[in-house]
Amino acid sequence: MSEPILEVKDLTKYFKTKSGTLHAVDGINFTIEKGKTLGLVGESGCGKSTTGRTILRLLEPTSGQVIFEGKDISTLSKHELRKARKDMQFIFQDPYSSLDPRMTVAELIAEPIEFNKILTDKKEIEERVAELMYTVGLAPRLFNSYPHELDGGRRQRIGVARALATNPKFIICDEPVSALDVSIQAQILNLLKELQQKMDLTYIFITHDLSVVNHFSDDIAVMYLGQIVEKAPSVELFEHPMHPYTQALLSAIPIPDLKAKKERILIKGEITSPIDPPQECRFYKRCNYTCEECRKNQKLVEISPNHFVACQRAMELNLGNL
């Protein structure tokens, strides 16, 4: 096992509201090895996008540590963080709203190069922009085009090119294909996979689509209401899901076979409020397997090699077979 490029330790992000403290991210832990992809999945509002933004300090963490290549970036000054961010980039969900409509394709891709002073010569910058456009599959004729003149797939390719402009080692992809047509989704996913192999990139891939993350990720972490409830290698998670929430998510994946029969697990009950939540399992009110021990806050426990679950019943009764 190689050294991890990223370690997240007890990371939290709370927001003050009129009703109390909203626990958007509540004490999560994971590591990622260099060149690997961690898929971060869960339903809307579970905190996965906030996790990504907090890791890169686009949002300041409430507490915890984010260690990148042995350096705790959660304590860096603004000047030090600016230098460190050359190695850590972000691809946003909506390719249109994340791009300045007043800038051309070339200007948008050149912006991070100029801002970080990677290159200063105008001709060298133009050559680098042309190289990046070729890398992500943007035709040279689009050099002076504006975002509103392009479709969603090309806009997202601009976002990928901007992320690559600083020669990063680590990229957080925040639902990069959710706003795109299915055929375009496949193109962008194939591009990201190809770039990872060529440049030895490390990804966090945030999505709510389990069928996508299954083919794209080496490991998968499942989030529910600000906490990671299960983490395992992709194949292991799909073959032996142990947490009842993970099982319900997997049962909802459609099968492209009209004759196939698949039992859906319906989640019922009241969703626990993320504002000042009680110290109990976040899934307690919606789970069919609750016991008295579930009233305690559940911690991730390794129940098999590299398979971690935050569930009392999974540990005691092998929930995967219930």
CA–CA dist 25, 55 (Å, integer): 11
How confident is the model at residue 304, as a pLDDT? 87
Q: Are the beta carbons of 44 and 208 closer than 8 angstroms? A: yes
Residue with tokens 């230098």: 83
Note the pTM of the prediction, 2 decimals.
0.90
How confident is the model at residue 2, as a pLDDT? 67
CA dihedral 212, 216, 220, 225 (to 10 degrees): -40
Q: Which of 97, 99, 90 is nearest to 56 (CA)?
A: 90
Q: What is the amino acid identity at position 201? A: L
Q: Could you report the per-residue pLDDT of 228-265, keeping only the tens digit for each?
A: 999 999 999 998 898 989 988 888 777 766 566 667 77
Residue 29's φ and ψ, nearest 5 degrees, are -140, 135
Q: How confident is the model at residue 1 (pLDDT cuts 50, 70, 90)?
A: low
Largest Cα–Cα separation, the chain: 68
CA–CA dist 109, 132 (Å, integer): 8
Q: How confident is the model at residue 322 (pLDDT cuts 50, 70, 90)?
A: very low
- Please give the share of the chain, as a percent, with pLDDT higher than 70: 94
Is the predicted pLDDT of residue 158 greater than 60, yes or no?
yes
Q: Which of 226, 287, 311 is nearest to 21 (CA)?
A: 226
- The domains found in the chain, sorted by start residue, are 4-87+168-317 (3.40.50.300)
* CB-based burial label for 266 (10 Å; 0-12, 13-18, 19+): exposed
Q: Which of 155, 171, 313 is nearest to 244 (CA)?
A: 313
- Please give the share of the chain, as a percent, with pLDDT higher than 90: 56
Q: Could you report the per-residue pLDDT of 94-150, keeping only the tens digit for each?
A: 878 889 999 999 999 999 999 999 998 999 999 999 999 999 999 999 999 999 999
- CA distances for 28 relative to 61, 84, 128, 131, angstroms: 12, 22, 38, 38
